[in-house]
Structure 1
Amino acid sequence: MKQRKLKKLKLKKKLNSNRVILALVCLVLGFMIAFSYRVTQSENNDEQITDRQWEQNLSLRNELIEQGEKNRELQGELKKKQGKIRKIEENLAKEAQVFFNLAEDTEKYRMFLGKVKVKGSGVQVTLSDGEYDPAEENINSYLVHEHHVFKVVNELYIAGATAISINGQRLSHNSYILCDGPVITVDGKQHPAPFKIAAIGDSEVLSSALNITGGVRDQLVNDQIVFSLEEKQEIVMDPILGS
């Protein structure tokens, strides 16, 4: 009887130890399965995040390529428009220069026509009749005639005079000068000697043109005309009435 009891006790202890071992094995196996599942899930999650990021990167890269192409197209359009703007600016500059030249020419024409008041430096030439000579039968030999005045006026215009007056009466583009005995008529108005011919322009150039050897001055002196020349700092001429 005692031996049976001992065998039963030993069998129980052995069963209990086997159960403990089995439980430990199951516990370890469960832990390993759980750990493996977690690792697998983590790897799957990592793979999904990586794929998503790659898709995002690819999308962003494509957008950057599209934006780069658009930028190149816009830069091309910008260059074309800048070229057009430069052409327009060049044309405007040319037009501005043309208008400026036209304005200058218009002012010169107005000055030449006597439509505007002018002032500036210049010269004044005085032509007086020669001294009376009883031995001279022809009185016209020492009087100032219209051709004498014409010589001075023409030479002044050639030398660059912008405006000319005779005894204060301004000449225009269609002025006429006639000789009527001891007086001359300018545009219908008579003037006695001496005749003061004023001209606006470069005084040195005008003086040199009149004083050149064999020029107007010498010719008038040879005709017994009293010739005097004076440079002026300022000469003022009013516009012609009715011009």
Structure 2
Amino acid sequence: MPEPSRETPHGETPYSPMSLLRALTSSPLDVDELRGTEEDSEADSHPDTPASRVVTLAIAILLGLAVAVAVTNLRADAVSEDSPRAALEQEVRDSREHAVGLEQRQEELQSEISALQEDVLQSSDSAAAARLSTYETATASTALSGPGVVLQVEDSAPLPASPGVAEGTVNRATDEDLQIAVNGLWAAGAEAIAVNGQRISASSAIRTAGSAVLVDLRPISPPYRIVALGDGAAIEQAVQGEATGEYLSEISSRFGIVLSWETSEDLSVPARAPAALREASSTPPGEAGADASPTDPDTDPGATDKETTP
């Protein structure tokens, strides 16, 4: 191979990596001599032909596919079973299953306690057993069944677009709607009420947290099925004729909330979770008057045997 015709002050060829740098530091005015001419650059460049364009396009497509595959793999790794999100979701599911198991175990133990308590009271003081049954019914501590009516409250269907309303908007039933419906059923003569399987008592609370409706701190979801025991036809008629009925009709016609009534001869409501026992004392034998009314706490000596708080 013949030697290059041009040399740098240091004896290097212009094709050496450090030749231009050394020329700049030694004699900047002679750098132009080391640069190739435009003709040389054009001769060294590859010609632009249809074949080269096809090759360039194929390479670009391959690079794009490689990037897409890499991104897909990264996303797959992000939602894989070993990802932190999947681990948290599994932990939540496990916690819910554990909570459900504890609730079932609590119900079983509570049933055993109630059975043993009834046996003891029946063998020692049948009047105390009757009073306890009356109090448990009043505080919704026992499950009940019988005829009644079901009021179902459901969110509206997706609404069409209109001024000020986006297409697909859903009007949701609120905790206030359920409160008014439950209070109206009580006023109409309902003997026991449950909302989506949650028993309602005098100390129950229907509230909202974010977009969820809570009954005694337990979340429920639509449709909301309100079961009321009693004379179903009479209860429905009484509710429809009072302010509660007017309110329900307004939210149905104005906001599209779906309401439906259904009477039945075989409905049931569960018992409310028992309250924590804070204080208890025994009644000496013979002090409980036989003539005392079991439904009047002021005249019933056994009425203060147990004090509970919700």
Q: What's the TM-score once normalised by structure 2's chain length?
A: 0.41
Residue 162 (str. 1) matches residue 188 (str. 2): no
CA–CA distance in structure 1, aligned partners of residues 167 and 133 of structure 2: 46
Q: 1:121 aligns with which of 125, 147, 151?
A: 147
Residue 237 (str. 1) matches residue 253 (str. 2): no
CA–CA distance in structure 2, aligned partners of residues 150 and 139 of structure 1: 27
The residue aligned with 1:13 is: none
In the superposition, relative to structure 1, how do residues 139 and 190 fare at CA in structure 2: closer, same or farther (>3 Å)? Answer: farther
CA distances 1:175-207 after superposition (whole Å, capped 9, x unpaired): 111123443111111011110000111112111
Alignment map for 1:5-20 (pairs within 5 Å): none
In the superposition, relative to structure 1, how do residues 151 and 140 fare at CA in structure 2: closer, same or farther (>3 Å)? Answer: farther
In the superposition, relative to structure 1, how do residues 143 and 174 fare at CA in structure 2: closer, same or farther (>3 Å)? Answer: same
CA–CA distance in structure 2, aligned partners of residues 189 and 138 of structure 1: 32
CA–CA distance in structure 2, aligned partners of residues 151 and 157 of structure 1: 10
Q: Which amino acid aligns with 2:272?
A: I
2:191 touches 2:228 (CA, 8 Å); kept in 1?
yes
CA distances 1:25-45 after superposition (whole Å, capped 9, x unpaired): xxxxxxxxxxxxxxxxxxxxx
Shift of 1:150: 1.0
The residue aligned with 2:157 is: 131
Alignment map for 1:1-243 (pairs within 5 Å): 109-135=135-161, 136-137=165-166, 142-212=171-241, 215-222=246-253, 223-243=255-275
Seq. identity, %: 26
Question: Structure 2: 5+ residue runs without aligned partners?
Answer: 1-128, 276-310
CA–CA distance in structure 2, aligned partners of residues 114 and 171 of structure 1: 7
CA–CA distance in structure 2, aligned partners of residues 167 and 158 of structure 1: 20
CA–CA distance in structure 2, aligned partners of residues 209 and 229 of structure 1: 13
Q: Which amino acid aligns with 2:256?
A: Q
Structure 1 segments (4+ residues) deviating >6 Å: 103-106, 138-141
CA–CA distance in structure 2, aligned partners of residues 208 and 106 of structure 1: 34
CA distances 1:48-95 after superposition (whole Å, capped 9, x unpaired): xxxxxxxxxxxxxxxxxxxxxxxxxxxxxxxxxxxxxxxxxxxxxxxx
Question: 128-137 or 211-220, which moves further after superposition?
Answer: 211-220
- SS of 2:274's partner is coil
1:160 touches 1:206 (CA, 8 Å); kept in 2?
yes
Shift of 1:104: 9.1
- SS of 1:143's partner is coil
Q: Which amino acid aligns with 2:175?
A: E
CA distances 1:100-144 after superposition (whole Å, capped 9, x unpaired): xxx999766532311122111110111110111253249987110
Aligned residues: 142
CA–CA distance in structure 2, aligned partners of residues 210 and 203 of structure 1: 11
Which has the larger helix fraction?
1
Larger Rg: 1
Q: Which amino acid aligns with 1:193?
A: P
Q: Which has the higher contact order (CA 8 A, sep 6+)?
A: 1
1:166 touches 1:195 (CA, 8 Å); kept in 2?
yes
- SS of 2:233's partner is helix
2:197 touches 2:270 (CA, 8 Å); kept in 1?
no
Question: Structure 1: 5+ residue runs without aligned partners?
Answer: 1-102
1:210 touches 1:217 (CA, 8 Å); kept in 2?
no
